Amino acid sequence: MRIDVLTLFPEMLEGPLKASLLGKALAEGLLTVEATNIRDFATDRHRTVDDAPYGGGPGMVMKCEPLFAAIESLRDRNTLKRVILMSPRGRRLDQALVRELAQAPDLVLVCARYEGVDERLSDALITDEISIGDYVLSGGELPALVLIEAVSRMLPGVVGDWESVETDSFYTGILGPPQYTRPPLFRNLEVPEVLREGNHAAIRRWRRKEALRVTRARRPELLIELSEEDRKLLAEIEREAPMPEKENPT
């Protein structure tokens, strides 16, 4: 997979792209990520990439000319079928969208700055706008890195043990189960016995049940598409610890 990132600050990507599994994936050719400096496509001697907004108002807006030129310069190495603007007004990034994006042969990520980009870019070249949450950052570089990290985990070979991906939160639509490692007893806190007995069927059932338990407690809105077995496990959880009834307003 290839990902092209358009940014005014390519140096913000350098460190994260060299670290951990992402750096290994790039080194092994499982993923290609290249940053393009939008400022290189400015045509005046000051390399201007922004201007005051029409109609007045605070801040500056990124100009059409360098943005269009930067994206179109990728035509010989990117299909431009998914040109994504990292934007707080975009679709919220979730695991379903990550899995969808991981099926694409390539992506273009546009990192806005200032008050955003000239709307004509969205009208003409942007295919998707994506947000990583309901808050505002100074630019799209960190959201782009979040998207790259999430998508890379879905690519074959990036995570050596695929089972560890399948147990990630949201991979199956709910939160992940609690995890433990050695020692079995620490400060009077004990690892659950079922995890130490080696019964793989019992362990799988325990993990699914505990994943449902934590989802029920913290993100109940995720409990939508459940199997019959999940419903039985939830019924067990309810018998063990009924949810407190909401107080009626007076």
pLDDT at 27 over 70: yes
Answer yes or no: are the C-beta atoms of 110 and 71 closer than 8 Å.
Answer: yes
Q: Reply yes or no on domain 2-152 having CATH 1.10.3720.10.
A: no
- 197-210 per-position pLDDT tens digit: 999 999 999 999 99
Catalytic residue among 100, 115, 129, 149: 115
pTM: 0.87
Q: Which one of the listed residues 65, 129, 168, 207 is annotated catalytic?
A: 168
Beta strand 50-51 pairing with 61-62: antiparallel
Q: Which of 153, 177, 213, 230 is catalytic?
A: 153
Q: Cβ(66)–Cβ(44) under 8 Å?
A: no
Is 236 an annotated catalytic residue?
A: no
Residue-range domain boundaries for the chain: 2-152, 167-250
Q: Give the mean pLDDT of 103-110.
A: 98
Structural class in CATH, domain 167-250: mainly alpha
What pLDDT is stored for residue 111 in this prediction?
98
Closest CA to 91 of 143, 22, 45, 163: 143
Q: In the annotation, is 115 catalytic?
A: yes
pLDDT at 172 exceeding the cut of 80: no
Task: State the catalytic residue, choosing from 34, 39, 53, 88.
Answer: 88
Distance set, CA 115 to CA 53, 124, 126, 136 (Å)? 9, 19, 17, 11
Average pLDDT over residues 65-87: 98
In DSSP notation, 20-84 reads HHHHHHHHTTS-EEEEEEGGGG--STT---EEPPTT--SS-EE-HHHHHHHHHTTTTT---S-EE
168 is catalytic: yes
115 contact partners, CB below 8 Å, separation of at least 6: 53, 57, 58, 59, 60, 61
